[in-house]
Amino acid sequence: MSQRHPPSAHLLAALFTALVALPLQALGATSTAPAASGSAADPPPWQVEWNARLRQENVDDAAFASDASATTLRLRAGLRLHWGQGFGALLEGEGTAAAGDRYNSGANGVAARPAITDPEGAELNQAFVAWTGARAGATLGRQRLLFDNQRWIGNSGWRQNEQTFDALSTTWHIAPTLTLRYAWLDRVHRVNGDDALDPLARERALSTHLFNLGWTHGAQQLVGYAYLHDDQDLATASTTTFGARWTGTHLHEATGMGWTVEAARQRDGAGNPLGFSHAYWLLEPTYAVRGVTYRAGWEHLGGDGIHALQAPLGTLHAFNGWADKFTVTPPGGLEDRYLGAGGLIGNDKRLNWAVAWHDYHADTGGRYGSEWDLSLGFPVHGPVTGLVKLADYRADGFAQDTRKLWLQLEWAGSH
């Protein structure tokens, strides 16, 4: 990895060091405060948060002679603090343990088996100070960032080790219906973990600016964005993306239509030595009836056969099929046409199902393949939930047939 870092990185490093001491000092200052202090609407002065996730993942990829199997346990725990005038902080750690090494984690060197990017390890997941006022707010430090549907900016929360950012993020409510979000990213900590064999897969030094302006009117939202991504460790990954997104629903007694329309243009940015310009669009009408939402979609990621549109800071698993064959867009680009349905079973939101079918083609070239995805989420006991999930990709010109199966238990809470 390149050792070039902007001077601001040193400032952030000093602030992060201060963050480690700040929560402990605040805890000592608030731990003796009476429980009745403050109004009922005020958050507690401190609370502990946790999330434990046990997962069994199996991958059968025809490109490998051996299957992959990973049993992993992820524990995330944090201390959240609140004090006067809207200030707060979070210090959160995350660790993943695995039973065996019958999979390629990206860090264990098991290259003869398919990849399951859930490496063992422990790290500081989030550490930030924040301020929230009546019309504005700001967060400084290592943090989770989610923009819109997370296509461009997200935390890749499906993986055991989530993606977080060393950043300054701000929100300004210009008017009741108009909100501006801005973030400057100094570094991204990727899902591959600190011990990934490829240094560029661990983290990247950035100087990225994110602008997101959203206007809300009833059940509709119109968003315009500009994402100026400067990857200082890999110049060819730097891009400039401008776009607009329109979402909405028109429901009567939980029945009716919804829509998502989005268009963007991505060009080379910052010091990228390449020259390219790719189109992006997403069209997704939906119809909800009797507790089931049906959807049809067409997502286009442009490519010219040499280079294609990419979204390296987004939540990639949520798009273009759960088999993860297109987390890096092929040089020929991608046309993903899909049909799907999903909903709740009964009134418990934890008892839910989803099914989707994808048909993949190149923007420049022929057909890639198709995929079926299915999932069932269910309550287990109290706050513990379960998940069964399946992805079945059938190749027709790109990669090889791949089947993935997940069995998962998750427990999240706070005190």
Burial class (CB in 10 A: 0-12, 13-18, 19+), 173: middle
Chain segment 196-238, per-residue pLDDT in tens: 999 999 999 999 999 999 999 999 999 999 999 999 999 999 9
DSSP secondary structure letters along 43-78: PPSEEEEEEEEEEEEEEEETTSSS-EEEEEEEEEEE
* DSSP E strand boundaries for 99-197: 121-132, 136-143, 164-175, 178-189
| 179 part of a folded domain | yes
pLDDT at 409: 98
Of 147, 171, 311, the residue nearest 239 (C-alpha): 311
| 329 part of a folded domain | yes
Chain segment 229-274, per-residue pLDDT in tens: 999 999 999 999 999 999 999 999 999 999 999 999 999 999 999 9
**Whose structure tokens read 């902080």?**
89
| 138 part of a folded domain | yes
**Mean pLDDT taken over the chain:** 91
pLDDT at 17: 42
Task: Output the 3-class SS for 266-300.
Answer: EEECCCCCCCCEEEEEEEEEEEEECCEEEEEEEEE
| 36 part of a folded domain | no
| 35 part of a folded domain | no
pLDDT at 349: 85
pLDDT at 16 over 80: no
Chain segment 268-327, per-residue pLDDT in tens: 999 999 999 999 999 999 999 999 999 999 999 999 999 999 999 999 999 999 999 999
Report percent pLDDT > 70 for the chain: 90
User: Helix, strand, or coil here: 161?
Assistant: coil
Domain count, the chain: 1
Q: Which residue segment(s) compose the domain that 355 sits in?
A: 7-30+45-414
What CATH number does residue 77 fall under?
2.40.160.10
* Range in 26-40, 53-67, 69-83, 156-170 the model is least confident about: 26-40
Sequence-distant (6+) residues with CB within 8 A of 273 are: 235, 236
| 318 part of a folded domain | yes
Chain segment 76-122, per-residue pLDDT in tens: 999 999 998 899 999 999 999 999 999 999 999 999 999 999 999 99
| 38 part of a folded domain | no
| 2 part of a folded domain | no
pTM: 0.90
